[in-house]
Structure 1
Protein backbone atom coordinates (compact mmCIF):
# COMPACT_ATOMS: atom_id res chain seq x y z
CA UNK A 1 0.00 0.00 0.00
CA UNK A 2 1.79 3.19 -1.13
CA UNK A 3 1.90 6.35 0.92
CA UNK A 4 -1.09 8.62 0.27
CA UNK A 5 -0.32 11.65 -1.87
CA UNK A 6 -2.77 13.97 -0.17
CA UNK A 7 -5.31 14.31 2.59
CA UNK A 8 -8.90 15.34 1.95
CA UNK A 9 -11.44 16.83 4.27
CA UNK A 10 -14.79 15.10 4.52
CA UNK A 11 -18.08 16.93 4.58
CA UNK A 12 -18.92 18.66 7.84
CA UNK A 13 -22.59 19.32 8.25
CA UNK A 14 -24.03 21.61 10.86
CA UNK A 15 -23.63 20.05 14.28
CA UNK A 16 -21.42 17.21 13.05
CA UNK A 17 -17.71 16.69 13.50
CA UNK A 18 -15.34 17.13 10.53
CA UNK A 19 -13.81 13.99 9.09
CA UNK A 20 -10.30 13.67 7.72
CA UNK A 21 -9.83 11.05 5.02
CA UNK A 22 -6.44 9.39 4.78
CA UNK A 23 -4.14 7.46 7.10
CA UNK A 24 -5.68 9.18 10.10
CA UNK A 25 -8.49 6.64 9.87
CA UNK A 26 -6.03 3.98 11.02
CA UNK A 27 -4.63 6.03 13.89
CA UNK A 28 -7.85 7.66 15.03
CA UNK A 29 -8.04 5.01 17.71
CA UNK A 30 -4.90 6.48 19.26
CA UNK A 31 -5.86 7.80 22.66
CA UNK A 32 -3.93 9.14 25.66
CA UNK A 33 -3.57 5.47 26.47
CA UNK A 34 -1.31 4.99 23.41
CA UNK A 35 -1.40 4.66 19.63
CA UNK A 36 -2.15 1.05 18.77
CA UNK A 37 0.02 -0.38 16.02
CA UNK A 38 -2.51 -3.16 15.58
CA UNK A 39 -4.87 -0.60 14.06
CA UNK A 40 -2.25 0.28 11.45
CA UNK A 41 -1.57 -3.37 10.67
CA UNK A 42 -5.26 -4.22 10.31
CA UNK A 43 -5.76 -1.33 7.90
CA UNK A 44 -2.70 -1.99 5.75
CA UNK A 45 -1.75 -5.66 6.08
CA UNK A 46 -3.22 -8.43 4.01
CA UNK A 47 -4.34 -11.69 5.65
CA UNK A 48 -1.41 -13.74 6.85
CA UNK A 49 0.94 -10.81 7.43
CA UNK A 50 2.18 -10.03 10.91
CA UNK A 51 2.15 -6.79 12.87
CA UNK A 52 5.70 -6.26 11.56
CA UNK A 53 4.03 -5.24 8.29
CA UNK A 54 2.45 -2.31 10.11
CA UNK A 55 5.81 -1.23 11.54
CA UNK A 56 7.32 -1.34 8.05
CA UNK A 57 4.52 0.82 6.70
CA UNK A 58 4.99 3.24 9.60
CA UNK A 59 8.66 3.59 8.65
CA UNK A 60 7.96 3.91 4.91
CA UNK A 61 5.27 6.53 5.42
CA UNK A 62 7.56 8.47 7.75
CA UNK A 63 10.33 8.41 5.14
CA UNK A 64 7.79 9.67 2.60
CA UNK A 65 6.84 12.54 4.91
CA UNK A 66 3.26 11.34 5.44
CA UNK A 67 3.01 12.03 9.16
CA UNK A 68 4.72 15.42 8.87
CA UNK A 69 2.40 16.30 5.99
CA UNK A 70 -0.64 15.25 8.02
CA UNK A 71 0.49 17.57 10.79
CA UNK A 72 0.92 20.39 8.31
CA UNK A 73 -2.54 19.83 6.77
CA UNK A 74 -4.10 20.24 10.21
CA UNK A 75 -2.01 23.36 10.87
CA UNK A 76 -3.21 24.83 7.55
CA UNK A 77 -6.79 24.10 8.58
CA UNK A 78 -6.28 25.90 11.88
CA UNK A 79 -4.38 28.77 10.27
CA UNK A 80 -7.13 29.35 7.70
CA UNK A 81 -9.63 29.62 10.57
CA UNK A 82 -7.40 32.12 12.43
CA UNK A 83 -7.11 29.61 15.26
CA UNK A 84 -3.32 30.04 15.49
CA UNK A 85 -2.25 32.99 17.62
CA UNK A 86 0.96 34.41 16.14
CA UNK A 87 1.33 37.19 18.73
CA UNK A 88 3.32 34.92 21.02
CA UNK A 89 4.99 31.54 20.83
CA UNK A 90 6.81 29.47 23.42
CA UNK A 91 9.54 26.86 23.23
CA UNK A 92 10.64 24.19 25.69
CA UNK A 93 11.72 20.56 25.95
CA UNK A 94 11.11 17.48 28.08
CA UNK A 95 13.25 14.43 28.70
CA UNK A 96 11.98 10.93 27.92
CA UNK A 97 13.57 7.82 29.47
CA UNK A 98 14.78 5.23 26.99
CA UNK A 99 14.48 1.58 28.02
CA UNK A 100 16.54 0.10 25.18
CA UNK A 101 18.82 2.93 24.09
CA UNK A 102 19.29 3.41 20.36
CA UNK A 103 19.61 6.36 18.02
CA UNK A 104 19.30 9.91 19.36
CA UNK A 105 19.75 8.82 22.98
CA UNK A 106 22.26 9.99 25.57
CA UNK A 107 22.90 10.03 29.32
CA UNK A 108 20.18 12.07 31.00
CA UNK A 109 21.78 14.49 33.51
CA UNK A 110 18.45 14.80 35.35
CA UNK A 111 17.99 11.02 35.71
CA UNK A 112 21.33 9.83 37.13
CA UNK A 113 22.87 9.44 33.70
CA UNK A 114 20.36 6.87 32.46
CA UNK A 115 19.84 6.78 28.68
CA UNK A 116 17.10 8.99 27.36
CA UNK A 117 15.92 11.33 24.63
CA UNK A 118 14.50 14.80 24.63
CA UNK A 119 11.52 16.20 22.75
CA UNK A 120 11.73 19.86 21.72
CA UNK A 121 8.53 21.66 20.72
CA UNK A 122 7.41 25.15 19.79
CA UNK A 123 3.77 26.15 20.29
CA UNK A 124 1.64 29.19 19.59
CA UNK A 125 -0.12 31.22 22.29
CA UNK A 126 -2.92 28.63 22.38
CA UNK A 127 -0.61 25.65 22.82
CA UNK A 128 -0.91 24.30 19.27
CA UNK A 129 2.30 22.39 18.42
CA UNK A 130 3.87 24.09 15.40
CA UNK A 131 7.07 22.04 15.14
CA UNK A 132 9.01 19.37 17.03
CA UNK A 133 12.45 17.79 17.08
CA UNK A 134 14.04 14.81 18.88
CA UNK A 135 17.54 14.87 20.38
CA UNK A 136 19.68 12.95 22.90
CA UNK A 137 18.88 13.81 26.51
CA UNK A 138 22.33 15.30 27.11
CA UNK A 139 22.06 17.94 24.37
CA UNK A 140 21.46 21.48 25.61
CA UNK A 141 18.15 23.12 24.73
CA UNK A 142 19.83 26.21 23.27
CA UNK A 143 21.52 24.10 20.58
CA UNK A 144 18.17 23.32 18.97
CA UNK A 145 16.50 26.73 19.10
CA UNK A 146 17.36 27.77 15.54
CA UNK A 147 16.56 24.32 14.14
CA UNK A 148 13.20 24.28 15.90
CA UNK A 149 12.20 27.78 14.80
CA UNK A 150 13.17 27.03 11.19
CA UNK A 151 11.16 23.79 11.32
CA UNK A 152 7.87 25.71 11.60
CA UNK A 153 6.23 25.33 8.16
CA UNK A 154 4.63 28.13 6.19
CA UNK A 155 1.05 27.88 7.45
CA UNK A 156 -1.88 28.97 5.33
CA UNK A 157 -3.82 32.05 6.44
CA UNK A 158 -7.36 33.15 5.65
CA UNK A 159 -5.94 36.29 4.04
CA UNK A 160 -2.48 37.12 2.80
CA UNK A 161 0.63 35.01 2.45
CA UNK A 162 1.38 31.90 4.53
CA UNK A 163 3.04 32.65 7.84
CA UNK A 164 5.73 30.87 9.86
CA UNK A 165 7.17 33.43 12.28
CA UNK A 166 5.57 34.56 15.58
CA UNK A 167 5.92 38.13 16.79
CA UNK A 168 7.49 37.12 20.13
CA UNK A 169 9.07 33.93 21.39
CA UNK A 170 9.08 33.06 25.10
CA UNK A 171 11.66 30.72 26.58
CA UNK A 172 13.09 29.85 29.99
CA UNK A 173 16.61 30.46 31.28
CA UNK A 174 17.96 27.45 29.44
CA UNK A 175 17.94 29.63 26.31
CA UNK A 176 19.58 32.65 27.97
CA UNK A 177 22.45 33.06 25.53
CA UNK A 178 23.42 35.90 23.24
CA UNK A 179 23.48 33.68 20.16
CA UNK A 180 19.86 32.61 20.83
CA UNK A 181 18.65 36.20 20.98
CA UNK A 182 20.64 37.15 17.89
CA UNK A 183 19.23 34.17 15.98
CA UNK A 184 15.67 35.22 16.80
CA UNK A 185 16.26 38.86 15.88
CA UNK A 186 17.73 37.83 12.52
CA UNK A 187 14.45 36.09 11.84
CA UNK A 188 12.37 39.11 12.85
CA UNK A 189 11.24 37.57 16.15
CA UNK A 190 11.31 39.51 19.43
CA UNK A 191 13.06 37.33 22.05
CA UNK A 192 11.40 37.06 25.45
CA UNK A 193 13.92 34.90 27.29
CA UNK A 194 14.26 34.83 31.07
CA UNK A 195 17.68 36.06 32.21
CA UNK A 196 19.66 34.05 34.70
CA UNK A 197 20.20 35.80 38.01
CA UNK A 198 18.04 38.78 37.03
CA UNK A 199 14.47 37.73 36.30
CA UNK A 200 12.30 35.29 38.16
CA UNK A 201 11.01 32.32 36.21
CA UNK A 202 7.49 33.11 37.43
CA UNK A 203 7.34 36.38 35.51
CA UNK A 204 7.31 34.72 32.10
CA UNK A 205 5.34 31.77 33.38
CA UNK A 206 2.06 33.45 32.47
CA UNK A 207 3.02 33.03 28.82
CA UNK A 208 5.16 29.89 28.97
CA UNK A 209 2.61 27.70 30.72
CA UNK A 210 1.02 26.80 27.37
CA UNK A 211 4.12 24.93 26.22
CA UNK A 212 4.28 23.09 29.54
CA UNK A 213 0.67 22.03 29.05
CA UNK A 214 1.36 20.80 25.52
CA UNK A 215 4.35 18.80 26.76
CA UNK A 216 2.01 17.23 29.31
CA UNK A 217 -0.37 16.32 26.47
CA UNK A 218 2.48 14.56 24.66
CA UNK A 219 3.37 12.68 27.84
CA UNK A 220 -0.20 11.31 28.05
CA UNK A 221 0.47 9.12 24.99
CA UNK A 222 2.00 5.99 26.48
CA UNK A 223 3.73 5.15 23.21
CA UNK A 224 6.04 8.17 23.63
CA UNK A 225 5.90 8.73 27.40
CA UNK A 226 8.72 6.18 27.63
CA UNK A 227 10.86 5.40 24.60
CA UNK A 228 10.93 1.71 23.65
CA UNK A 229 12.03 2.11 20.01
CA UNK A 230 15.71 1.90 19.17
CA UNK A 231 15.20 3.65 15.85
CA UNK A 232 14.88 7.42 15.96
CA UNK A 233 12.69 7.58 12.84
CA UNK A 234 10.02 5.38 14.41
CA UNK A 235 10.09 7.41 17.62
CA UNK A 236 9.82 10.63 15.61
CA UNK A 237 6.92 9.22 13.58
CA UNK A 238 4.96 8.53 16.76
CA UNK A 239 5.59 12.13 17.85
CA UNK A 240 4.16 13.49 14.62
CA UNK A 241 1.12 11.25 15.02
CA UNK A 242 0.66 12.58 18.57
CA UNK A 243 1.08 16.18 17.35
CA UNK A 244 -1.53 15.55 14.66
CA UNK A 245 -3.99 14.17 17.22
CA UNK A 246 -3.46 17.23 19.42
CA UNK A 247 -4.08 19.52 16.43
CA UNK A 248 -7.13 17.45 15.51
CA UNK A 249 -8.65 18.21 18.91
CA UNK A 250 -8.19 21.91 18.22
CA UNK A 251 -9.88 21.44 14.83
CA UNK A 252 -12.85 19.80 16.54
CA UNK A 253 -13.01 22.63 19.03
CA UNK A 254 -13.04 25.32 16.34
CA UNK A 255 -15.28 23.66 13.77
CA UNK A 256 -17.81 21.79 15.92
Structure 2
Protein backbone atom coordinates (compact mmCIF):
# COMPACT_ATOMS: atom_id res chain seq x y z
CA UNK A 1 0.00 0.00 0.00
CA UNK A 2 1.11 3.56 -0.74
CA UNK A 3 0.76 5.45 2.51
CA UNK A 4 -1.34 8.61 2.42
CA UNK A 5 1.53 10.89 3.47
CA UNK A 6 3.66 9.67 0.55
CA UNK A 7 0.81 9.78 -1.96
CA UNK A 8 -0.07 13.36 -0.95
CA UNK A 9 3.42 14.40 -2.04
CA UNK A 10 3.54 12.37 -5.25
CA UNK A 11 0.06 12.98 -6.68
CA UNK A 12 0.52 16.72 -7.45
CA UNK A 13 3.74 15.92 -9.33
CA UNK A 14 2.18 13.40 -11.73
CA UNK A 15 1.38 14.63 -15.26
CA UNK A 16 -2.34 14.85 -15.97
CA UNK A 17 -3.56 12.70 -18.85
CA UNK A 18 -6.91 13.70 -20.32
CA UNK A 19 -9.08 10.90 -21.59
CA UNK A 20 -10.05 11.16 -25.23
CA UNK A 21 -13.70 11.98 -25.84
CA UNK A 22 -13.86 10.07 -29.11
CA UNK A 23 -12.69 6.47 -29.06
CA UNK A 24 -11.64 6.65 -25.38
CA UNK A 25 -10.69 2.98 -25.27
CA UNK A 26 -10.09 1.09 -22.05
CA UNK A 27 -10.24 3.09 -18.86
CA UNK A 28 -6.78 4.17 -17.67
CA UNK A 29 -5.42 2.40 -14.59
CA UNK A 30 -5.56 4.58 -11.50
CA UNK A 31 -2.19 6.26 -10.87
CA UNK A 32 -2.07 5.19 -7.23
CA UNK A 33 -2.56 1.54 -8.17
CA UNK A 34 0.17 1.84 -10.81
CA UNK A 35 2.50 3.32 -8.19
CA UNK A 36 1.72 0.43 -5.87
CA UNK A 37 2.73 -1.97 -8.66
CA UNK A 38 5.98 -0.07 -9.24
CA UNK A 39 6.82 -0.15 -5.52
CA UNK A 40 5.95 -3.85 -5.35
CA UNK A 41 8.55 -4.55 -8.04
CA UNK A 42 11.09 -2.23 -6.35
CA UNK A 43 10.65 -3.93 -2.97
CA UNK A 44 10.47 -7.57 -4.15
CA UNK A 45 12.40 -7.62 -7.48
CA UNK A 46 9.60 -9.71 -8.99
CA UNK A 47 9.69 -9.73 -12.83
CA UNK A 48 7.22 -7.32 -14.39
CA UNK A 49 5.38 -10.11 -16.18
CA UNK A 50 4.72 -11.90 -12.88
CA UNK A 51 3.22 -8.88 -11.13
CA UNK A 52 0.09 -10.33 -9.42
CA UNK A 53 -2.91 -8.68 -11.09
CA UNK A 54 -5.24 -10.01 -8.42
CA UNK A 55 -3.78 -7.32 -6.12
CA UNK A 56 -5.23 -4.65 -8.44
CA UNK A 57 -1.94 -3.30 -9.80
CA UNK A 58 -2.84 -3.86 -13.43
CA UNK A 59 -0.43 -5.50 -15.85
CA UNK A 60 3.31 -5.35 -15.36
CA UNK A 61 3.73 -3.61 -18.72
CA UNK A 62 1.30 -0.87 -17.68
CA UNK A 63 3.28 -0.23 -14.49
CA UNK A 64 6.55 -0.32 -16.44
CA UNK A 65 5.25 2.33 -18.84
CA UNK A 66 4.18 4.56 -15.94
CA UNK A 67 7.62 4.23 -14.35
CA UNK A 68 9.24 5.17 -17.67
CA UNK A 69 6.87 8.06 -18.42
CA UNK A 70 7.04 9.53 -14.92
CA UNK A 71 10.83 9.28 -14.92
CA UNK A 72 10.99 11.10 -18.27
CA UNK A 73 8.65 13.74 -16.86
CA UNK A 74 11.03 14.28 -13.92
CA UNK A 75 8.55 13.14 -11.26
CA UNK A 76 11.09 11.22 -9.16
CA UNK A 77 13.65 14.04 -9.26
CA UNK A 78 11.03 16.60 -8.17
CA UNK A 79 9.81 14.27 -5.42
CA UNK A 80 13.38 13.91 -4.14
CA UNK A 81 13.87 17.69 -4.16
CA UNK A 82 10.54 18.24 -2.41
CA UNK A 83 11.45 15.85 0.39
CA UNK A 84 14.92 17.36 0.76
CA UNK A 85 13.28 20.78 1.13
CA UNK A 86 10.99 19.45 3.86
CA UNK A 87 13.94 17.89 5.65
CA UNK A 88 15.89 21.15 5.34
CA UNK A 89 12.96 23.11 6.74
CA UNK A 90 12.81 20.69 9.68
CA UNK A 91 16.54 21.17 10.36
CA UNK A 92 17.35 17.55 9.53
CA UNK A 93 20.04 18.17 6.90
CA UNK A 94 23.64 18.44 8.09
CA UNK A 95 25.36 20.73 5.58
CA UNK A 96 28.60 20.84 7.57
CA UNK A 97 29.83 17.85 5.56
CA UNK A 98 28.97 15.46 2.75
CA UNK A 99 30.20 11.91 2.10
CA UNK A 100 30.61 10.08 -1.21
CA UNK A 101 31.07 6.41 -2.09
CA UNK A 102 30.06 3.74 -4.60
CA UNK A 103 29.07 0.08 -4.76
CA UNK A 104 29.29 -2.60 -7.44
CA UNK A 105 26.25 -4.59 -8.57
CA UNK A 106 25.95 -7.31 -11.17
CA UNK A 107 24.22 -6.51 -14.48
CA UNK A 108 23.00 -9.87 -15.68
CA UNK A 109 21.55 -8.65 -18.99
CA UNK A 110 24.15 -6.04 -19.91
CA UNK A 111 23.08 -2.79 -21.51
CA UNK A 112 24.22 0.84 -21.40
CA UNK A 113 26.26 1.92 -18.37
CA UNK A 114 27.62 -1.57 -17.75
CA UNK A 115 31.18 -2.82 -18.02
CA UNK A 116 33.57 -5.57 -16.94
CA UNK A 117 33.53 -5.52 -13.16
CA UNK A 118 37.01 -5.58 -11.56
CA UNK A 119 35.58 -7.24 -8.44
CA UNK A 120 33.53 -9.96 -10.20
CA UNK A 121 35.92 -11.65 -12.67
CA UNK A 122 35.16 -9.08 -15.40
CA UNK A 123 31.49 -10.05 -15.57
CA UNK A 124 29.10 -7.29 -16.67
CA UNK A 125 28.37 -4.93 -13.81
CA UNK A 126 27.34 -1.42 -12.89
CA UNK A 127 28.13 0.97 -10.07
CA UNK A 128 25.83 2.91 -7.80
CA UNK A 129 27.40 6.24 -6.83
CA UNK A 130 25.92 8.10 -3.86
CA UNK A 131 26.60 11.42 -2.15
CA UNK A 132 24.93 12.10 1.20
CA UNK A 133 24.82 14.91 3.72
CA UNK A 134 26.40 14.44 7.12
CA UNK A 135 23.56 12.31 8.47
CA UNK A 136 23.38 9.94 5.52
CA UNK A 137 20.39 11.41 3.67
CA UNK A 138 21.03 10.93 -0.08
CA UNK A 139 21.54 14.20 -1.95
CA UNK A 140 22.25 12.68 -5.37
CA UNK A 141 22.76 9.27 -6.98
CA UNK A 142 24.18 8.16 -10.32
CA UNK A 143 24.78 5.00 -12.37
CA UNK A 144 27.90 4.05 -14.35
CA UNK A 145 29.57 0.99 -15.75
CA UNK A 146 31.28 -1.31 -13.27
CA UNK A 147 34.71 -0.51 -14.73
CA UNK A 148 34.47 3.26 -14.22
CA UNK A 149 36.80 4.77 -11.65
CA UNK A 150 35.06 6.26 -8.62
CA UNK A 151 36.78 9.62 -9.01
CA UNK A 152 35.14 10.20 -12.41
CA UNK A 153 31.81 10.68 -10.63
CA UNK A 154 33.12 13.06 -7.99
CA UNK A 155 32.33 16.32 -9.78
CA UNK A 156 29.16 15.06 -11.56
CA UNK A 157 27.66 14.08 -8.18
CA UNK A 158 28.56 17.41 -6.58
CA UNK A 159 26.94 19.21 -9.52
CA UNK A 160 23.90 16.92 -9.29
CA UNK A 161 23.06 18.13 -5.77
CA UNK A 162 19.87 20.15 -6.31
CA UNK A 163 19.31 23.59 -4.80
CA UNK A 164 17.44 22.75 -1.60
CA UNK A 165 14.81 25.22 -0.47
CA UNK A 166 12.79 25.13 2.72
CA UNK A 167 14.25 28.06 4.66
CA UNK A 168 14.41 31.81 4.31
CA UNK A 169 17.22 32.95 2.05
CA UNK A 170 19.04 31.40 -0.88
CA UNK A 171 18.62 27.65 -1.47
CA UNK A 172 21.42 25.54 -0.02
CA UNK A 173 23.36 23.40 -2.50
CA UNK A 174 26.92 23.02 -1.25
CA UNK A 175 28.18 21.32 1.94
CA UNK A 176 31.11 22.81 3.80
CA UNK A 177 33.43 19.82 3.27
CA UNK A 178 33.46 16.46 1.50
CA UNK A 179 34.76 13.14 2.88
CA UNK A 180 35.89 10.36 0.54
CA UNK A 181 38.06 7.24 0.62
CA UNK A 182 41.26 6.45 -1.28
CA UNK A 183 39.38 5.74 -4.50
CA UNK A 184 38.95 9.51 -4.91
CA UNK A 185 42.58 10.39 -4.17
CA UNK A 186 43.73 12.67 -7.00
CA UNK A 187 45.15 16.17 -6.61
CA UNK A 188 43.47 17.37 -9.81
CA UNK A 189 40.05 16.58 -8.37
CA UNK A 190 40.96 18.07 -5.01
CA UNK A 191 41.56 21.37 -6.79
CA UNK A 192 38.24 21.06 -8.65
CA UNK A 193 36.39 20.46 -5.40
CA UNK A 194 38.09 23.46 -3.78
CA UNK A 195 36.92 25.66 -6.67
CA UNK A 196 33.29 24.84 -5.86
CA UNK A 197 33.80 26.20 -2.35
CA UNK A 198 33.90 22.75 -0.71
CA UNK A 199 36.85 21.56 1.40
CA UNK A 200 37.95 18.05 0.24
CA UNK A 201 38.96 15.62 2.98
CA UNK A 202 40.12 12.58 1.02
CA UNK A 203 42.24 9.71 2.29
CA UNK A 204 45.55 9.34 0.46
CA UNK A 205 46.83 6.18 -1.14
CA UNK A 206 49.85 4.55 0.43
CA UNK A 207 49.05 5.78 3.91
CA UNK A 208 48.25 3.27 6.67
CA UNK A 209 44.65 2.58 7.55
CA UNK A 210 43.22 4.06 10.70
CA UNK A 211 43.12 7.65 9.50
CA UNK A 212 39.98 8.23 11.55
CA UNK A 213 37.93 9.34 8.53
CA UNK A 214 35.75 6.26 8.89
CA UNK A 215 33.80 7.93 11.70
CA UNK A 216 32.48 10.31 9.03
CA UNK A 217 32.27 7.98 6.01
CA UNK A 218 30.18 5.20 7.55
CA UNK A 219 26.94 7.09 6.94
CA UNK A 220 27.19 6.74 3.15
CA UNK A 221 27.86 3.02 3.51
CA UNK A 222 24.68 2.76 5.55
CA UNK A 223 22.77 4.67 2.86
CA UNK A 224 24.06 2.32 0.15
CA UNK A 225 22.89 -0.59 2.30
CA UNK A 226 19.46 1.07 2.54
CA UNK A 227 19.36 1.44 -1.24
CA UNK A 228 20.16 -2.23 -1.63
CA UNK A 229 17.47 -3.09 0.90
CA UNK A 230 15.22 -2.54 -2.15
CA UNK A 231 15.74 -5.91 -3.81
CA UNK A 232 15.39 -4.54 -7.33
CA UNK A 233 18.59 -2.55 -6.78
CA UNK A 234 20.74 -5.44 -5.54
CA UNK A 235 21.14 -6.77 -9.08
CA UNK A 236 20.58 -4.78 -12.24
CA UNK A 237 17.90 -6.64 -14.17
CA UNK A 238 17.09 -3.78 -16.55
CA UNK A 239 18.79 -3.52 -19.92
CA UNK A 240 17.68 0.11 -20.18
CA UNK A 241 19.75 2.30 -17.92
CA UNK A 242 17.01 4.93 -17.55
CA UNK A 243 14.65 2.39 -15.97
CA UNK A 244 17.28 1.39 -13.40
CA UNK A 245 18.03 5.06 -12.72
CA UNK A 246 14.31 5.64 -12.18
CA UNK A 247 14.31 2.94 -9.51
CA UNK A 248 17.42 4.48 -7.91
CA UNK A 249 15.94 7.97 -7.69
CA UNK A 250 12.60 6.66 -6.39
CA UNK A 251 14.42 4.61 -3.73
CA UNK A 252 16.48 7.66 -2.68
CA UNK A 253 13.25 9.66 -2.34
CA UNK A 254 11.66 6.94 -0.20
CA UNK A 255 14.70 6.95 2.11
CA UNK A 256 14.22 10.71 2.52
CA UNK A 257 10.49 10.28 3.16
CA UNK A 258 11.12 7.63 5.82
CA UNK A 259 13.59 9.91 7.59
CA UNK A 260 11.06 12.74 7.46
CA UNK A 261 8.08 10.82 8.88
CA UNK A 262 10.25 9.12 11.50
The interval holding the TM-score normalised by the smaller chain is 0.7 to 0.9
Take 1:20 and 1:31, find their aligned partners in 2: how far apart are those partners? 21
Q: Does 1:71 align with 2:77?
A: no
Alignment of 1:101-140 (within 5 A): 101-140=110-149
Task: Give the corresponding residue for 2:257.
Answer: 248
Q: Which moved more, 1:200-209 or 1:71-80?
A: 200-209
- TM-score using structure 1 length: 0.84
User: Which of 189, 198, 219 matches 1:210?
Assistant: 219
Residue in 2 that maps onto 1:4: none
**TM-score normalised according to structure 2 size:** 0.82
Q: 1:144 to 1:43 in 2, by over 3 A?
A: farther
In terms of Rg, which structure is larger? 2
Deviations 1:133-172 (A, max 9, x none): 1000000000111000000000014232101100010000
What SS does the aligned partner of 2:209 have? coil
Of Structure 1 and Structure 2, which has the larger fraction of its residues in helix?
2
Native 8 Å contact 2:42 2:233 kept in 1: no
Structure 1 unmatched runs, 5+:
1-8, 11-16
After superposing on structure 2, the runs of 4+ consecutive aligned residues of structure 1 that deviate more than 2 Å are 17-21, 23-40, 42-45, 198-202
Q: Distance in 2 between matches of 1:209 and 1:155?
A: 24
Aligned length: 235
- 1:192-235, CA deviations, whole angstroms, 9 ceiling, x for partnerless residues? 00011235255100000000000010111111111100000000
Give the match for residue 186 of structure 1. 195
> Is residue 9 of structure 2 the alignment partner of residue 20 of structure 1?
yes
Q: Is the 8 A contact 1:29 1:35 kept in 2?
A: no
SS in 1 for 2:98: strand
Partner Cα separation in structure 2 for residue 207 and residue 175 of structure 1: 15
**Once the two structures are superposed, what CA deviation does each residue of 1:167-194 show, in whole Å capped at 9, x if it has no partner?**
0100000000011111110000000000
